[in-house]
Chain A
Amino acid sequence: MVRIGAFFVGLFFSGWLLVTFLVGAVSFVSEPPAPTAEHEFHLHPKEVSYSFNGPLGHYDKAQLQRGFQVFKEVCSACHSLKFVAFRDLEALGYNEAEVKAIAKNWAIKTPDVDPKTGEMAGRAPVPSDHFPKPFANNVAAAAANNNAIPPDLSLMTKARHDGSAYVYSLLTGFQDQPAELLKEFPDAKTPTGLHYNPYFANLNLAMAPPLTAEGQVTYGDGTKPTVDQMAKDVSAFLTWTAEPKLENRKRAGVAALFFLLIATGLAYMSYRNIWANTKH
């Protein structure tokens, strides 16, 4: 009884799936899906080598400081970094007094209640504060940015495939729309107000190229601030903001693996030893 019922249920599902497949296959062959500009022209992130890649990777603190400077002078006007606190900057090699000064002189104020009047007011951030947001809310952010909301950058490099290289590629990938694209897809012209970038999923993004000229920031350590260098530094910084415990994680991983390899070796010897006289 079970087998007869099963036979018909199986026949129903399998049969209908095959019918569906045949109809789909016929239409796939007769009218193949039209290619899209996104499919043809979207590029995967460039290959970038970072100090934190690989199982023994670690952050280059000087690079993170440079990246922080780019974030501070360029990105922070529009992008928030809400999961990171000023105190976290000590991991970049700043001492307590420097962190305090960075917080105190931050261009955006931390919203708080005025202790005398009880009105909402801004105060200078302190190290225990998170980075204040440049816009009070999404409506304000959209209104100031041509209806596009600049995303929070704290986790950006983990929120995209191959995130560090993605951020670098996006920052260095702004270009004119290729002529072949327009020839092949005349309707895919980049709308006004958007900017063509092959590393962005749908090729056109609202953000204008933020890093435009060499020397846009002046590095204290004498590194030449080319657009490429700034992009690399800020993408490294944003990798740190997304994964601040990367170094602890990799270090702990090496120790854990070292231990486990020995333990497993011993366990194997013990297993062989116990079974030594028993055929199986």
Chain B
Amino acid sequence: MSFPWAQHYTPKAPLMQWIDQRLPLPRLVYNAVGAGYPVPRNLNYFWNFGVLSGLALMIQIVTGIIMAMHYGANELVAFSSIEHTMRDVNGGWLMRYAHANGASFFFIVVYLHIFRGLYFSSYKAPREMVWLLGLVIFLLMMATAFMGYVLPWGQMSYWGAKVITGLFGAIPLVGEPIQTWLLGGFAPGNAALNRFFSLHYLLPFVIAGVIILHIWALHIPGSSNPTGVEVKGPQDTVPFHPYYTAKDGFGAGVFLILFAILLYFAPNFLGHPDNYIEANPLSTPAHIVPEWYFWPFYAILRAFTFDFFFIPAKLLGVLAMFASILLLFFLPWLDTSPVRSGNYRPVFKKFFWILVADVLVLGYCGGAPAAEPFVMISQVAAAYYFAHFLIILPLIAMFEKPLPLPGSITEAVLAKHGEHGAAVVPAE
């Protein structure tokens, strides 16, 4: 641990001492998410979403293992095996709805986690590696979610698989062979279904592995905080346990309440009705849309409608869609402002909220039919998206005059409480 004042693990129980001397696993847990990890004392509720993402992954793995116990990865039985789970398996409906809505909740908390990172510039030195590993997790999640959506073998599953693998078909020369290779055929079929099932089962464990790296990398510099000022001494931190375990426990409760409302009272609200129609290679749904969490990227894909000289529009859309995610890998070197927190960056703050609105607009357009005015709106919104990260952020960093930073976390906390009088009640 990088903080000299971090508490040391001194097990009292003889059994724990015995284990710790032979396998220092208790020590590892203590230092990672226990009292041995000093955390800035001023974290707000947006810092809950990391732990909540972990909770969402656990829900997905547990319900997913159960779904796999009843699932048949064969185009003849895939759809009916899901219906069998829903109707005949004891509590199968609960497992299935929890898995389907759990995916949505996973993305909700991860998006909030990412936007928190964007606002507070959590990607800046010395936390670049945390950010990069987080993006790897995000890419793995998208792949996992996409392949999972194919498994029920409904109409959207089938046509989604066809359209998304078709993206690779846009690559010049090798595109079509790659698409055929991905599918193991000329259209989605048994081969595709089986390999997607296999990988859909594998990738969550890869994600879990990268999460360990993500947390490891986080523990080298320690957590960032809303002021963006680094920890200066013991007075700036509290031990993770019990302070943040308690706060995360409360956060998990709120998360589970919202999850339960959706799961038990509107389980199909975020899904598409067409996926309750069995896959039919001879009939395309009126408009194919992916799950909501892909809508912003789908809007970028569809925004390109004109060829750019020798580059066909289709390829351009595919390149832009991948670029829209990959550019995030360069963020630590694009935003060179020495100030981290958006709270002290007046210009950056305005553009951040424009970006949030922009992504929401992109999301809305991505879910709407590919017709005017949505295509035109998505073109403007996509243009802003690229401009924001690739042009505006570097420029702000050069010209913005940040507000004065507090001397330390402690100073900021005391200033806040000074403003609110002698409040004993901790305010968020």
Contact = CB atoms under 8 A, between A and B. Distances in A.
A2 interface: yes
Given A249-B94, A256-B264, A280-B42, A16 B308 contact: yes
A272 B250 CA distance: 10
B257 interface: yes
A25 B384 CA distance: 17
B380 interface: yes
Contacts of B333: 2-3
A18 B380 contact: yes
A274 B426 CA distance: 11
Contacts of B372: 24, 28, 33
Interface residues of A, number: 60
B383 A17 contact: yes
A268 B250 contact: yes
Interface in A250-269: 250, 252-254, 256-257, 260-261, 263-264, 267-268
B386 A25 contact: no
B387 interface: yes
A17 B380 contact: yes
Interface in A210-254: 242, 244-245, 248-250, 252-254
B376 A28 contact: yes
Interface residues of B, number: 68
Nearest to B305: A20
Contacts of B273: 158-161, 163
A185 interface: no
Interface stretch (A4-12, A115-123, A174-182): A4-12
B218 interface: no
Given A33-B372, A249-B267, A279-B426, A3 B94 contact: no
B306 A20 contact: yes
Interface string B238-250: 1000110011011
Interface stretch (B80-88, B143-151, B165-173, B187-195): B80-88
Nearest to B316: A16
Contacts of A20: 303-306, 379
A23 interface: yes
A141 to B, nearest CB: 13
A155 interface: yes
21 contacts: A6-B327, A14-B391, A17-B380, A24-B376, A33-B371, A33-B372, A83-B83, A84-B87, A155-B83, A245-B87, A248-B93, A249-B264, A253-B263, A257-B260, A263-B253, A267-B246, A267-B252, A268-B250, A271-B249, A279-B426, A280-B42
Interface of B: 41-43, 80, 83, 86-87, 93-94, 97, 238, 242-243, 246-247, 249-250, 252-254, 256-257, 260-261, 263-265, 267-268, 273-274, 276-277, 286, 303-306, 308, 316, 320, 323, 327, 330, 333-334, 336, 371-373, 375-376, 379-380, 382-384, 386-387, 389-391, 394, 413-414, 417, 424, 426
